[in-house]
Structures are given as C-alpha cells and as structure tokens.
Amino acid sequence: MDKKTFLIFLMVWFSGFIISSPADNLKIKFSAGFLVIILIHILGLERCSDEVNLKAFNITAVTYPVIEVLLRASIGFIDPLAVNIAEHFLAGAAVASVISVASWGTLKKLNLNERFLFLSCLAIVICLLYELIGYLLYYEPTAALYSDTMRDLAMNIAGSATLSVIILALNKKHGARESADEGTSGP
C-alpha cells in the first residue's frame, strides 16, 4: 500500500469504527479486519504480491468498512435477510482478497487450478472458523448448527470462490500480457 492509500485506509476504517453502533458486532469485525490488514502491511506481504492481487487487496482494504456500514444502514429499507446474504458474500470475498496477498509466496508456485483450490479452500476454512466462533459466542453451544449459519457459510463460500475466480482470471490475463510483451521485446 502506498502512503496515500494507507492514509485513506486509516481514515475509512477509523470512521467506520466510530460510526458503527455498539449494539452490533461491527466494532469486533472492524477491529479484526484492521489488525489483519495492518499486520500484512507491517510484515510487508503486500510488497511481495503481484499487481492484480495488490489492487484487489487495496480496493478491499479501503471499501470494506464503507460497504459494511452502508449495508447495515440499509436494513430499514431492504429485507434484512438480503442484507445478511450480501454481508456474508462480501465477507467471503474480502477474506479471499486478504489471503491472496498474504499467501502470495505459496500461490505463485502453483498453477491456476491449484491457486483456485488453495485460495478458495483457505478462505472457506477461515469463514467456517468465523461462523463457528460466532455460533459459540451467540448461541447455545450444545445445539446443532442452525440454518442461518449454513446460509451464511454458503454465501461466504460463494463470495470467496467468486473473487478467487476473478483474481485468477485477471492474473492469467495479466500474465499472458506480460509474456506477450516479453516475447515482442528484442535484444
């Protein structure tokens, strides 16, 4: 993240944290997301990533709190179930975006199919852990998982798989363009 993007990131996440209501769990989500992105920035993982993954990561880092706050604010105008579905779809996509940058060292060694499987599966595992932790915190720990948790997880999977396909398609297109540029350049 360059300095300008990083400052925008800080302002957006700080504003989202202030705007979010203490009644919902946005402060927890924003705190966790902020810490993960700051950790990636401190470790310099985004500097090792390719251009496509970095753009997806920067867009996610800057827009996620805005979209999340707007979705929560729209509950009065839109069916809460639709808002919940959109939230979990976008959360899955955000997790895939963060993983694509954080694990670029591994991803660049894999072919496109292996990248898709690795990125999607890791995002799904993280989303599953998030859903299970939320379930254990807010619901009876001895009861079976309920249908809302399954729907949330299904949307997390759809979001992570969708963004994984988009990132990999752009990587393939970008890689083909780079190899074409290298092939046309003479000595």
pLDDT in tens, 42-79: 888 888 888 888 888 889 888 888 888 888 888 888 88
pTM of the model: 0.81
Q: Do the Cβ atoms of 174 and 52 come closer than 8 Å?
A: yes
The residue behind tokens 């996620």 is 64
How many CB atoms are located within 10 Å of the residue 12 CB? 17
Asked if the model's pLDDT at residue 21 lies above 80, the reply is: no
Q: Do the Cβ atoms of 118 and 103 come closer than 8 Å?
A: yes
Which residue type does 74 have? S
Q: Do the Cβ atoms of 36 and 28 come closer than 8 Å?
A: no
Per-residue pLDDT tens digits for 84-136: 899 999 999 999 999 989 888 888 888 888 888 998 899 989 988 888 877 77
Q: Do the Cβ atoms of 169 and 103 come closer than 8 Å?
A: no
Say how far residue 38 (Cα) sits from the centre of its chain. 14
Distance between CA atoms of residues 174 and 187, nearest Å: 23
Q: Which of 52, 44, 63, 34 is nearest to 1 (CA)?
A: 44
Secondary structure class of 77 (helix, strand, coil): coil
What would the mean pLDDT of 16-21 be, rounded to a whole number? Answer: 77
Range of the domain at 17: 3-184
Q: What percent of the chain has pLDDT over 70?
A: 87
Domain count, the chain: 1
